[in-house]
Amino acid sequence: MKLAELTAGIDRLTVNGDPDIEITGICYDSRRVVAGSLFCALRGEHFDGHRFIPEAIAAGAVAVLCEDAGTCTGVAVLTADDPRAAMAELAARFHGCPTESMLVAGITGTNGKTTVSYLLESLLARAGKHVAVIGTVAYRFGPDVRPAPNTTPESVDLQQLAAGFRQQGCSALVMEVSSHALAQQRVAGVAFDVGLFTNLTPEHLDYHREMESYFAAKRLLFDRKSGAKQAVINIDDPWGLRLAQERPDAITCGQDQEAVVRIVEAELGVAGIRAVLESPVGRIEIDSPLLGRFNLANLCCAAATGVALGLDPQLIAEGLGAVATVPGRLEAIDHPGGARVLVDYAHTGDALEKALEAMRDLKPRRLLALFGCGGDRDRSKRPKMGEVAARIADLVVVTSDNPRSEDPQAIITEILPGVEAAGAVKLDRPAFAPAGQTGYLVEPDRRRAIETAVALLEEGDLLLVAGKGHEDYQIIGSERLHFDDREEVRRAIALTVENR
């Protein structure tokens, strides 16, 4: 594609150079530059892409997008006040604006995005669409399944991915849209037909600093000019209620009496969720094997999105009921002794609270919670998660998550004040505290922690292993080591059975 064709009509750009230069690709990593590339020099948290402009030119870049053109010689120069937004527009155009020729649903919020993405995939498949999903678990379309380094890819990668899926026959795309992606303009070139807001609770405050900034990032998906054409908003969440006031045309959902799609009946148990929703297209009767109150909210959000897309209520009900499980989201593993283990991605106070409350609703004999907190992330949530776990569970096992560059023991030390504030008592050995008390154990080695918790299980007990969910790795220092909670639980169960 010639430079003139690539840049035509993008007002945010100033272009200096030969308009007939042939652009063979767009990249933001100088190590990926090949002859004919447009290199995008971005300023990030840790690196300044301007430093790598000479390397990119030496590798064959024929054009550079940047803020400061001082280091560019012998190539076409594109300057913009917001290079990330410009890069997103350029990437969309280079790949033929793939999202304009498919139905695109974007899901944002702190919790529920992954589960809702699976629910929407099922709805749209029932409606005859060929559905691709981009999200936390994987980027996938049919047999084409790729690892997901980020919930939402960088704009260049996202547009290339969407174009590839379109070429394979994709007609609908379901995307989890992270706050980082919105703040960094990764989805600026995506044509969203519908945007869904699930909820907002404290998370990523190491990046956003405070909740108003976090909300401002999420709000971008619902901007009337540049955001989704239709909005679906959960107004049981106070931030959602505020957002709905800014988008009065939104289809609202929840238990709130004013919700457009409203939960009017609900029954939750060990077999799943049965619920009835009132909507503008009629009653939607849900029978889902998913567990817990928070999944009732997820089902309602997905149903409301189906309503926004004009789907038949029976089709919506069938699509929702067809999703039996979501990887790492209250994923059940049975114990031969009559106990049950649930593995969940919950890694915030709110998510942990909802997961444990969902398990408490199942009326277990005893409830165990195992969790840790990630290193190099928001430290303020550590005591909050400790307090939640100790307030709801009968036994808390505090362990390591992805410590990254931090000392695992130092992270645990910041969790424990919350555990103790909830009245939990430290136990000297693996056991339960006396009746009426919550006890806690500390085991920094996650594998041994899982073994310890599983060995304590008896008939009627429930164990939540929280924090990593679908992840099959643990990051210790700079190493990414294979570690899958589900594998470890099954191994620990086998070990326990062998030793009994």
DSSP states along 400-441 = -S--BTS-HHHHHHHHHHHHHHTT-EE-SSSSPPSTT--EEE
- Whole-angstrom distance, CA of residue 283 vs CA of residue 293: 20
78 with 219, same domain: the answer is: no
Question: 3 φ, ψ to 5°?
Answer: -55, -40
Last residue of a domain, one of 52, 74, 94: 94
Whether residue 11 lies inside any domain: the answer is: yes
- Whole-angstrom distance, CA of residue 323 vs CA of residue 345: 18
Whether residue 486 lies inside any domain: the answer is: yes
112 with 221, same domain: the answer is: yes
Whether residue 279 lies inside any domain: the answer is: yes
Q: Are 323 and 122 in contact (CB under 8 A)?
A: yes
pLDDT given at position 499: 82
- Whole-angstrom distance, CA of residue 351 vs CA of residue 241: 19
CATH number at residue 79: 3.40.1390.10
User: How would you label 464-477 residue by residue, b for 16+ Cβ within 10 Å and e otherwise?
Assistant: bbbbbbbbeebbbe
Last residue of a domain, one of 301, 321, 341: 321
Whether residue 30 lies inside any domain: the answer is: yes
59 with 122, same domain: the answer is: no
**Residue 109, strand partner residues:** none
192 with 290, same domain: the answer is: yes
297 with 346, same domain: the answer is: no
- Whole-angstrom distance, CA of residue 315 vs CA of residue 311: 7
Whether residue 360 lies inside any domain: the answer is: yes
**Boundaries of domain holding 316:** 98-321
pLDDT given at position 422: 98
Last residue of a domain, one of 72, 94, 116: 94
Question: SS3 of 198, please?
Answer: coil
Whether residue 326 lies inside any domain: the answer is: no
Whether residue 231 lies inside any domain: the answer is: yes
106 with 90, same domain: the answer is: no
170 with 272, same domain: the answer is: yes
CATH number at residue 469: 3.90.190.20
Q: Are 70 and 168 in contact (CB under 8 A)?
A: no
pLDDT given at position 75: 94
250 with 140, same domain: the answer is: yes
Q: Which residue positions in the chain have pLDDT lower than 70?
A: 205, 208
Residue type, 339: A
pLDDT given at position 207: 72
- Whole-angstrom distance, CA of residue 207 vs CA of residue 491: 37
493 with 361, same domain: the answer is: yes
Q: Specify the number of domains making up the chain.
A: 3
Strands 76-79 and 63-66, sheet pairing: parallel
Structure tokens at 412: 């645990």
Going by the DSSP 8-state scheme, the letter that residue 23 receives in this structure is P
The dihedral built from the CA positions of residue 342, 348, 353 and 354, taken in this order, carries a sign that is: negative
291 with 340, same domain: the answer is: no
190 with 307, same domain: the answer is: yes
User: Residue 130 burial (CB < 10 Å; 0-12/13-18/19+)?
Assistant: middle
25 with 159, same domain: the answer is: no
**Residue 141, strand partner residues:** 144
Residue carrying the six token digits 């897309």: 309
CATH number at residue 172: 3.40.1190.10
192-203 residue pLDDT tens = 999 999 999 977
Strands 131-134 and 172-176, sheet pairing: parallel
Upper half-sphere CA count for residue 37 (Cβ side, 13 Å): 23
Instruction: Name 494's Cβ contacts closer than 8 Å, sequence gap at least 6.
Output: none
Among the listed residues 21, 14, 32, 8, the one whose alpha carbon sits nearest the alpha carbon of residue 82: 14
Whether residue 105 lies inside any domain: the answer is: yes
Strands 76-79 and 14-16, sheet pairing: antiparallel
Among the listed residues 271, 315, 443, 288, the one whose alpha carbon sits nearest the alpha carbon of residue 371: 443
Secondary element (H or E) of residue 3: helix 3-7
pLDDT given at position 72: 82
**Residue 78, strand partner residues:** 15, 65
